[in-house]
C-alpha cells in the first residue's frame, strides 16, 4: 500500500530539507529565531539532523505508510516542543506562526496521507 495523497508529504519533505540546510549553515534568520527562544546550543545542533531524518522517514512513508505514520507522530511531537519553546520565551505570535503551521501540517500529513481510511 502506498501513501494516499503523496503530494502533501512531498511538500513537507522539501520544506524540511531547506530548513535543515538553513539551520545547519546557519543562516541569520535561523540563528536569530533560536536566540529569541533561548534554544540551547546542544539542541540547535540536533535540529538539522532531526529534520533530515524526518524528511527521509516521510519519503520512505510514501511506500511504507507505517513509517510515514511513525515519522508524522514524531514530527508532531517535535513541533509541539518547538511551539512550546516559542510560547515559553513569550515570543510574538507572528514569530511562532511557522512552528504552529508546521505542527498542523505534520498532523494533516499523518492523518490524510498515511493512515488508512476508516
Domain locations in the chain? 7-114
For 15-64, the pLDDT digits (tens) are 999 999 988 887 787 888 888 888 898 998 999 999 999 999 999 999 99
Predicted confidence (pLDDT) at residue 102 exceeds the cutoff of 90: yes
At 5, is the pLDDT very low, low, confident or very high (cuts 50, 70, 90)?
A: confident
CA 11 to mean position of chain CA atoms: 11
Rounded Cα distance, 6 and 109, in Å? 9
Residues 6+ apart with CB under 8 A from 49: 20
- Higher-pLDDT residue of 84 and 29 is 84
How much of the chain exceeds pLDDT 70, in percent? 97
pTM value? 0.89
CA 39 to mean position of chain CA atoms: 16
- What is the grid cell recorded at 41? 546550543
Q: Kindly list the distances between the CA atom of residue 92 and the CA atoms of 5, 36, 70, 74, in Å, as whole numbers in the listed order.
A: 33, 10, 31, 25
Amino acid at each position: 500500500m502506498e501513501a494516499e495523497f503523496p503530494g502533501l508529504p512531498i511538500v513537507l519533505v522539501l520544506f524540511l530539507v531547506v530548513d535543515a540546510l538553513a539551520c545547519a549553515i546557519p543562516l541569520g534568520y535561523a540563528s536569530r529565531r533560536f536566540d529569541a527562544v533561548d534554544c540551547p546550543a546542544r539542541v540547535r545542533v540536533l535540529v538539522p539532523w532531526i529534520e533530515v531524518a524526518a524528511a527521509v522517514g516521510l519519503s520512505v512513508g510514501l511506500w511504507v505508510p507505517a513509517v510515514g505514520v511513525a515519522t508524522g507522530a514524531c514530527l508532531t511531537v517535535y513541533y509541539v516542543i518547538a511551539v512550546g519553546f516559542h510560547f515559553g520565551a513569550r515570543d510574538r505570535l507572528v514569530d511562532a506562526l511557522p512552528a504552529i503551521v508546521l505542527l498542523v501540517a505534520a498532523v494533516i500529513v499523518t492523518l490524510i496521507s498515511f493512515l488508512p481510511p476508516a
